[in-house]
Structure 1
Amino acid sequence: MKIVKISLLFIALASLSCKDNKEDKNTSEEKIIAETSKIEVQGHRGERGHSPENSIPGFLAAIDKGVDVVEMDVIMSKDGKVVVSHEPFMSSAYVLTPAGDTIPKQEEKDYNLFTMTYDSIKRFDIGSKGNTAFPEQRKLKTYKPLLGEVIDSIENYVKSNNLDPVHYNIEIKSDEAEYEKSQPKPAEFIKAVMQVLEEKGIVSKINIQSFDVNILEEMHQSYPDIILAYLVGSGEFDENMKKISFTPQIYSPYYKLLDQQKVAKIQQNGMKVIPWTVNEQADIDEVKKMKVDGIITDYPERAIE
């Protein structure tokens, strides 16, 4: 009887051990799946839904929310400075003059940043007015910063708060029709941007994106090791790829151009798929189901799990 009891006890312990091992294995497998299927979240212009766009306070707020990447835009000033701004002019939607006045829509392009020195640009207020398209955006007085200043602010903030490193998605705002009107030509523009990034020592943390194929072609030739993202706002994948001579690492379309089959096809062509700008919760959930590699959003908290 004693032998039978000992045998039964041994079997029970062995069973528990197998169960624990199986659970540990399952937990480990689930962890691996979660890590490999993680969708990169990029804070669009910082976190435009709640903070002034392309501002240092907005970038730091996005980092506090846990973004993997801060997305921003750059233009050039008259004195050759790389300025973080979406438009190459003072947008009437959210910018106030140094005197605190609004800018009429019909006059906004008269404030061409390419014809203004950075000292003049910095005097305009990009946060106090708010933005009616983003009613939850907090209002605070701030300005269009230099790219180098943004990098210093982010790197110092991450280090002082013992946070995980963040990466940078930098869009070179470029339009062939605007060469030497509101921007320099691609080679000069790229050289200025890359000089800042190399001086700040963050080249390993960046990718460059643009709608302008000429920018991407010049980047590919002059800086072949830089990760590039091909931004598109319309058209089918095959047609868009005929416009470029190489395969960038990232294809970044307007999210409504995608479905699960299209995402799979792009990925089969060796490119990551990172759509823009996905803001509504239902749309965020939908593109996640498509198995995209990342999401660019004005509301990063909606995409971060």
Structure 2
Amino acid sequence: MSSRPGPWASGRFDVEGHRGAKGLVVENTLAGFAAAYGVGATGVELDVRLTADGRVVVWHDAELLPHKCRSTGPDLVGARVDDLTLAQLRTVDVGSLTLPDCPGQQADPGARISTLSEVLAHGVESAPGVWWTIELKVDPRDEREVSARRQLLEGVLTDVHDHAVERQCFVHSFDWAVLELSAALAPDVLRSALVESSVTWHPGSPLTGSVVPGESHHDVCDGAVAVGAQVISPDDAMVDAAFVDRAHAAGLAVLPWTVNEPPRIVELVEAGVDGIVTDYPDRALAVVASTSRSASPA
């Protein structure tokens, strides 16, 4: 059992499918989420953005990238998501193109960008016990995204309330100002501070909200606590047993990303992390089960 709130509170290790199950099926599609549920992922990570007409959609990139998107009507590839309405986005096929760096990834021809509400409705019906790690894509260096920060967060909070997953999700962001705002608007919804090595935690960082690295706080874990996080989610290269000990001492769960190689998964389990985000939840679940068995007394 863990005193840290989240899916690990019951003592289970949390294996979260990245953007659904990116290594198995094209990312952030209903088929990709179904693949994660089908292999037994205990959680899914997904990305959300606002459309031009204020709808919360599940998509990672600020623009419609040519190696992920095909126009089926007007040519919208290259456009910013926040310049397009939901109706315009629905004309784009995001399921037919697979990624060369994900060998074995299956296409979902004709798939369209989904709203967060649609993804939650599908997931609650398909896998009601799954936890949701909802990454709000806000770049604090982009004035348009900053100006829409509150609207995006309010849309996310409305959707998680409407689908009754407030106690089964994390508000998750590299923009720690999102977490501070969420703490004020919805204090009972858990929050997760994303961290990228050499990007997030440095003097003058625009990503850390009201926290000033090296001045108001000297340790990234203490900074995450200060913005109201219950989870710290670093890129896996940052994580060793000492990092986990510091985070746990601060009351934070540790959820590294994006961890795909079995030897590294074993290292992180042995270091004491609470879960991982992975493109291959099937692979990770098998490794975690094997590691847990080998660690059990005979």
5+ residue gaps in structure 2?
1-8, 202-216, 290-298
Counterpart secondary structure, 1:176 = coil
> TM-score scaled to structure 1, two decimals?
0.79
Alignment equivalent of 1:240, drawn from 197, 213, 220: 220
Q: Structure 1 pair 287/198, CA: closer, same or farther in 2 (3 Å)?
A: same
Deviations, residues 175-199 of structure 1 (Å, cap 9, x unaligned) = 112232x564322221111112212
Long gaps (5+) in structure 1: 1-34, 159-163
Superposition pairs of residues 103-142 of structure 1, within 5 angstroms: 103=77, 108=78, 111-141=79-109, 142=111
- Report the secondary structure of 2:100's partner residue: coil
For normalisation by structure 2, the TM-score amounts to 0.81
1:158-197 aligned at under 5 Å gives the runs 158=127, 165-180=129-144, 182=145, 184-197=147-160
- What is the 5 A alignment of 1:67-106? 67-98=41-72, 103=77
Query: Which structure has the larger Rg?
Result: 1
More deviation in 232-241 or 193-202?
Answer: 232-241
The number of aligned residues is 260
Rate the CA distance shift 1:36–1:115 in 2: closer, same or farther, 3 A. closer
Out of 232, 245, 256, the position equivalent to 1:251 is: 232
Q: 2: distance between equivalents of 1:101 and 1:88?
A: 17
Residue in structure 1 matching 2:170, options 187, 204, 207: 207
- Judge which range, 254-263 or 191-200, deviates more: 191-200
RMSD: 2.3
Q: Residue 137 of structure 1: SS of its match in structure 2?
A: coil
Q: 258, 274, 277: which one pairs with 1:293?
A: 274
Picking from 115, 118, 133, the partner of 1:149 is 118
2: CA distance, partners of 1:94 / 1:144: 11
Corresponding residue for residue 24 of structure 1:
none
- Tell me if the contact between 1:94 and 1:130 (Cα under 8 Å) persists in the aligned partners: yes
Is residue 100–residue 125 contact of structure 1 (8 Å, CA) maintained in 2?
no
TM-superposed deviation, 1:135: 1.9
Summarize deviations over 1:105-130 as a string: whole Å, max 9, x none: xxx3xx11111000111111111111
Task: Deviation per CA, 1:32-67: give whole Å up to 9, x if none.
Answer: xxx965321101101000101000010011001001
CA offset at residue 242 of structure 1? 6.3
2:125 maps to a residue whose letter is N
Q: Does 1:228 align with 2:228?
A: no
Q: What is the CA-CA distance between 1:74 and the residue it aligns to?
A: 0.3
> Of Structure 1 and Structure 2, which has the larger fraction of its residues in helix?
1
Once the two structures are TM-superposed, the CA of residue 246 in structure 1 deviates from its matched residue by 3.5
> Structure 2 vs 1, CA of residues 199 and 179 (structure 1 numbering), >3 Å: closer, same or farther?
farther
Spell out structure 1 runs of 4+ moving beyond 6 A. none
